[in-house]
Structure 1
Amino acid sequence: MAFFYLLPMILLAIFVASFISAIIRTIQTEYANCSIPPGVSNPGKLRLIVAVLIVTSTLGRIFEKMELCSSLAFKRRVFSGWRPGPARGVRREDARLGRVPARLYRPRAAVRAPRPAVLLFHGGGWICCSLDSHERICQYIAKESGSLVVSVGYRLAPEHKYPAAYEDCLNATQHFLQHLEHYGVDPARVIVCGDSAGGNLAAAVSQTLAGRSDFPKLRAQILIYPGLQALDFNLPSYQQNRGVPLLFRERAAFCALQYIQGNTSNLEEVLEGSHIPPDLRLKYRKWVSPDNIPEKFKVRGYKPHKPCEFKPEVYETVKRFCEPNLCPLLAEDTIIQQLPESFILTCEYDVLRDDGLLYKKRLEDNGVRVTWYHLEDGFHGIVNLFEYCGLSFPSGKRGLDKAVAFIKSL
């Protein structure tokens, strides 16, 4: 009789053991596809983060099969992280910029003149992260730079495909620029800023507003490891860092496809380059080419890649990749020449490194002043780990401090 009382506990123990074993096997399998170069910052801590991400992904898939929630919803919740309380010396306020949700961070320190303002667009591949995920960064920038920081909560893919995120960021920026007096902001010191996909959005918004006379001119743009093109996923940085966390080569293409079409049905074709017609590839080669990457960034290995045979049916589904609002590297020189002073941060161990390097060259070639900071031991997402559950990296804080110093210099 006692056995029947113990049976539920035995079954539960078997389930838990199987569950843990499955997670361990998944971690081992995923680690086989992961590469952590010896030069990366704090490799031991990065391995721990990778393990957490793998567990998160595994749990998401399990919860989806159990119909508790979608895998993406679970990841979004985890990646948003814990929302810290207001930082000392910073006042936080939820708001709306037109129809777009936002969060304002005001330094409490008194100032004599109107403050500068930083409009921040969070990263997350257009599909993850939120106002909460970038809370710590916004608080830090506001406190250390004395700026009003405005974090923009744009709509996410795949529920809201391109150009939803871009339109939200543009509309929020325009609304803010029309009401600067209400926010006590200096019209001559408004900056757009973003990391990863947020850097893409900041660059696109800056290009759209370039030369506009009906809005105050943006003072600067801050692009932190931005993704700026989807034509070539075989640039040197993509080859060298294809398996380096926190952004794998396949994941970069995955996010771009989720943003543009809401699914990843053409992932392999996009990775191999068969999604762009030869004539367009030739047209844009002057801007998107490994030939424009300094040789010192190829020493870790680079093999010229010949795109696979062009597939017109794939191009028809992803042809908006050729729009500058989605891929700012493809904007014409007449637009680039009107862009404001720029700060670009790149990381050596990041598939998006070369996007930043190519844009830096384009800006400089067109007479735009660029402050460039390269984290030799950095990886994608390192700045976003600032003060996150003890997982900060000194290199990431150094990059964030350089961005703050840039703001204060304007």
Structure 2
Amino acid sequence: MALFEGCFAAGVVGTAILTYRFFAFTMPPQAEESVKRRFLLLFWWILGIWTKLRLKFSNKHEMQLTRMNIPPRPNNLDTITVEDATFGGVPVRIYRPKNAGDHPLPGVVYFHGGGWCWEVWGGYDEILKAFSQLKEMVIVSVRYRLAPENPFPTALLECFAVTQFVLENTQILKMNPENLTLMGDSAGGNLAMAVMVKMLSSPEEMPQSLPNFRKLVLIYPALQAVNFKVPSYQKYRGSNVPSILSTELMMKFYVAYALGMETVDYEELLRNSHWTDEVEANYHKYVNIENLPASSRDGAEISSSPNIKNPGLAKKVNKCFLNPLFSPLLAHDSVLKGLPDTYVLSAEMDPLRDDSFLLVNRLNKLGIRVRHRHWDGMDHGFLGVPSLYVNCHKGWREIVEYLVEDS
């Protein structure tokens, strides 16, 4: 009887805690599909508690313990063929419509998200199959190696190797060399932008005879690790934010990608304590809060400068953070002027929101044809949850509509 009463009491307490957490997440008025999001965030919170418990008894890096190894599902579609291969020494998965024959199709090279740390490559399987069905195209999805075991520039170099292989072999892959798109989401958006920057800033590595990408698609990309005092980073801090990606988690991703198994004081990063005179002189213009639209400033202070600088922190992180291949928003204007037509998707409830606004502002000034689709009622990662969000399907359809324009 005592055991039953104890279990019952524990159940009541547990239910009360979960109910409190369910309603504790701060949902702004414009949040869409908020009930579904609360369930997802509750699962995320439970996963975080479990990870903290495991960390107490493990010598592994936090990113290793939270890594989700999602295997690809068996192909159950009659209209899509799926093939695993290796391009440039890097594993890839190729999606191709079955009825395409030998006719060359539009081609997409896709880099998955997951903070450069999480093995979520297989979780994109159903999405990319559906994407390939919406418009007949050949998609190459890249399985790059992950941080913290493989820090920067491993993922970038592997994505670049696959990109180069695809451009050199469009005929074999039955891709239309005049209709190629480079695409990625979140950390994959960072990699897509960084690959473009590397191609444009190192033309000697890309033979002139190779085709060019016609379009670049960046889905809530991570573009700069310099100014963490932009409003979106400050707004979406803490455990009650309406997004699976909090500012604190993004800091951990950046540091794992830059430093591998080493860690730093994340709070100091959020105060921009890694700033130096070099940052102020050469890079502030690219990440200046004044370049954001008034609606995104949220009444934030305009100054990005830290109250106290930490030279030790700067020495540790800025070798990566100030590299345009790590923070592609820092690339020189002469490089960005070579970008193809660009589609940028951002979500309001996302610490990375302002990166997109800063990029769009800059590309507009440079005369690049850029389309910015901002989802005011959605959060980071919503395009990756087709079973949960109706807007996931709508978002992918809009991207397809963009790709078929002028084709």
CA contact (8 A) 1:373 1:399 kept: no
Residues of 1 paired with 2:9 and 2:162: CA distance? 49
Residue 153 (structure 2) aligns with: 163
Residue 361 (structure 2) aligns with: 361
2:48 matches 1:57: yes
Question: Deviation string for 1:295-341 (max 9, x for gaps)?
Answer: 1223x442335413111111111012000100000000110011111
2:128 matches 1:138: yes
2:241 matches 1:216: no
Please show how residues 320-335 of structure 1 align to structure 2 within 5 Å.
320-335=320-335
Residue 222 (structure 2) aligns with: 227
SS in 1 for 2:280: helix
Residue 250 (structure 2) aligns with: 252
Please show how residues 369-388 of structure 1 align to structure 2 within 5 Å.
369-387=369-387
Residue 313 (structure 1) aligns with: 312
Flag structure 1 segments of 5+ consecutive residues without an equivalent: 1-5
Residue 401 of structure 2 is aligned with which of 382, 385, 405?
A: 405
From the superposition, tell whether residues 358 and 138 of structure 1 become closer, same or farther in structure 2 (CA, over 3 Å).
same
2:39 matches 1:48: yes
Give % identity.
Answer: 30
Equivalent pairs, count? 395
Residues of 2 paired with 1:30 and 1:201: CA distance? 34
Instruction: Name the aligned partner's letter for residue 146 of structure 2.
Output: L
SS in 2 for 1:133: helix
SS in 2 for 1:193: strand
Instruction: Name the aligned partner's letter for residue 189 of structure 2.
Output: G
SS in 1 for 2:129: helix
CA contact (8 A) 1:377 1:395 kept: no
Instruction: Give the deviation of 1:57 after TM superposition.
Output: 2.4
2:98 matches 1:99: no
CA contact (8 A) 1:378 1:396 kept: no
SS in 2 for 1:77: coil
Residue 189 of structure 2 is aligned with which of 176, 192, 199?
A: 199
From the superposition, tell whether residues 64 and 350 of structure 1 become closer, same or farther in structure 2 (CA, over 3 Å).
closer
SS in 2 for 1:230: coil
Please show how residues 273-292 of structure 1 align to structure 2 within 5 Å.
273-292=272-291
From the superposition, tell whether residues 315 and 63 of structure 1 become closer, same or farther in structure 2 (CA, over 3 Å).
closer
Residues of 1 paired with 2:270 and 2:74: CA distance? 38
From the superposition, tell whether residues 231 and 24 of structure 1 become closer, same or farther in structure 2 (CA, over 3 Å).
farther
Instruction: Give the deviation of 1:28 after TM superposition.
Output: 5.2
Residues of 1 paired with 2:327 and 2:254: CA distance? 10
- With normalisation by structure 1, the TM-score equals 0.88
Instruction: Give the deviation of 1:136 after TM superposition.
Output: 1.8
SS in 2 for 1:247: coil
SS in 2 for 1:76: coil
CA contact (8 A) 1:345 1:372 kept: yes
Instruction: Give the deviation of 1:231 after TM superposition.
Output: 0.6
Instruction: Give the deviation of 1:127 after TM superposition.
Output: 0.7
Residues of 2 paired with 1:396 and 1:92: CA distance? 22
Instruction: Name the aligned partner's letter for residue 168 of structure 2.
Output: Q
Instruction: Give the deviation of 1:66 after TM superposition.
Output: 6.2
Residue 232 of structure 2 is aligned with which of 237, 246, 255?
A: 237
CA contact (8 A) 1:27 1:55 kept: no
Residues of 2 paired with 1:163 and 1:19: CA distance? 47
Question: Deviation string for 1:330-374 (max 9, x for gaps)?
Answer: 000110011111111011221111101111122222221112211
From the superposition, tell whether residues 16 and 173 of structure 1 become closer, same or farther in structure 2 (CA, over 3 Å).
farther
Residues of 2 paired with 1:68 and 1:254: CA distance? 17
Residues of 1 paired with 2:147 and 2:213: CA distance? 27
CA contact (8 A) 2:72 2:125 kept: no
Residue 179 of structure 1 is aligned with which of 165, 169, 174?
A: 169
Residues of 2 paired with 1:237 and 1:40: CA distance? 16
Instruction: Name the aligned partner's letter for residue 248 of structure 1.
Output: S
From the superposition, tell whether residues 24 and 198 of structure 1 become closer, same or farther in structure 2 (CA, over 3 Å).
farther
SS in 1 for 2:122: coil
2:261 matches 1:265: no
From the superposition, tell whether residues 378 and 165 of structure 1 become closer, same or farther in structure 2 (CA, over 3 Å).
same
CA contact (8 A) 2:75 2:82 kept: no
- With normalisation by structure 2, the TM-score equals 0.88
After superposition, the CA RMSD in angstroms is: 2.8
Instruction: Name the aligned partner's letter for residue 401 of structure 1.
Output: R
CA contact (8 A) 2:107 2:179 kept: yes
Residue 3 (structure 1) aligns with: none
2:30 matches 1:39: yes
Residues of 1 paired with 2:264 and 2:23: CA distance? 25
Instruction: Give the deviation of 1:69 after TM superposition.
Output: 8.8
Question: Deviation string for 1:110-156 (max 9, x for gaps)?
Answer: 36741111111000111113321111221121111211011100011
CA contact (8 A) 1:27 1:54 kept: no
